[in-house]
Amino acid sequence: MDISGIRKEYTRGGLSRCDIPPDPLALFGKWLTEAVGTEQIAEPTAMVVGTVSADCRPSLRTVLLKELREGKFVFFTNYESRKGRQLADNPHIALSFMWYPLERQIHIEGTAERLPAEESDAYFRSRPLGSRIGSTVSPQSRTITGRSELLRAYEEMRDEVEATGKPVERPAHWGGIEVTPLRIEFWQGRENRLHDRILYTLQADGSWRIERLAP
Ligand SMILES: Cc1cc2nc3c(=O)[nH]c(=O)nc-3n(C[C@H](O)[C@H](O)[C@H](O)COP(=O)(O)O)c2cc1C
């Protein structure tokens, strides 16, 4: 298959001065609402998360954005996973939303920290029982002998919970990460590869510098 000839013109929209509010979170909220509103995007809250190890090697994976909290982007994960361990060593993080049907991309760079425990507890309690048990028994990112090991741990815990009625509380290894954005770039595809790129950079006084970048 020759993929070199696959080409698409981007014509769905544009970002002109009047579309650019002083606060990038307002624009993020607008685009997120539009992404959730279109039925063409299977997982509109999915974002690719980039972390960097202590020896400066980058890695990526997809997670789901669960909340925008006081201007911070929140997702939930296993703190002992590969990403969790990398973030403990190096809090610099990058997030990427790619909404192909809208010809839009948003790149966010910032710093990550753990969500306060009470807030992780509250979110954990809101999850279905199966997900709570799953994230308790899964040693995310570690090698396991096979799927049966995981299923055995899941069934053991589920049976115990059913027999005792014990609540499944959040394990210490699982919780929220909140990302404070320092740089947010909005990309809207345009004709002839002359795409719109609007970059917001956080300033020392808390305001955002706004620049247009060449595509
Ligand atoms: C659509 C999608 C959503 C996902 N959501 C999450 C999530 O919210 N949290 C999470 O820890 N992993 C999520 N994953 C799994 C991660 O991509 C990844 O496999 C896992 O977190 C382990 O990553 P790590 O070994 O780099 O730490 C999701 C995967 C996909 C494809």
pLDDT range class, residue 17, cuts 50, 70, 90: confident
What is the pLDDT, as a whole number, of residue 72?
98
Of all protein residues, the one whose alpha carbon is nearest to atom 6 of ligand 1 is 63
Q: Over 90: is that where the pLDDT of 107 sits?
A: yes
Residue range 10-19: mean pLDDT, rounded = 92
What is the pLDDT, as a whole number, of residue 88?
97
Residue range 132-143: mean pLDDT, rounded = 97
Average pLDDT, the chain: 97
CA of 62 to the centre of ligand 1 (A): 5
Q: Over 90: is that where the pLDDT of 215 sits?
A: yes
The CATH classification number of 17-117+173-212 equals: 2.30.110.10
What is the pLDDT, as a whole number, of residue 20?
95
| Ligand 1 first shell, C-beta below 6 A | 43, 46, 59, 61-64, 75-78, 81-83, 140-141
Q: What is the pLDDT of residues 50-98, one digit of tens each?
A: 999 999 999 999 999 999 999 999 999 999 999 999 999 999 999 999 9
Q: Where are the domains of the chain?
A: 17-117+173-212
Catalytic residue among 193, 197, 209, 212: 193
pLDDT range class, residue 123, cuts 50, 70, 90: very high
Active-site annotation holds for 170: no
Residue in this structure with the two tokens 């948003």, named with its chain if needed: 106
What is the pLDDT, as a whole number, of residue 155?
98
Q: What is the pLDDT of residues 146-178, one digit of tens each?
A: 999 999 999 999 999 999 999 999 999 999 999
Residues above pLDDT 90, as percent of the chain: 99
Adjacent-strand bridge partners of 95: 49, 108
Atom of ligand 1 nearest to the CA of 66: 8
- Amino acid at site 58: P
CA of 61 to the centre of ligand 1 (A): 6
Nearest to 168 by CA among 150, 152, 151, 156: 156
Global pTM exceeds 0.95: yes
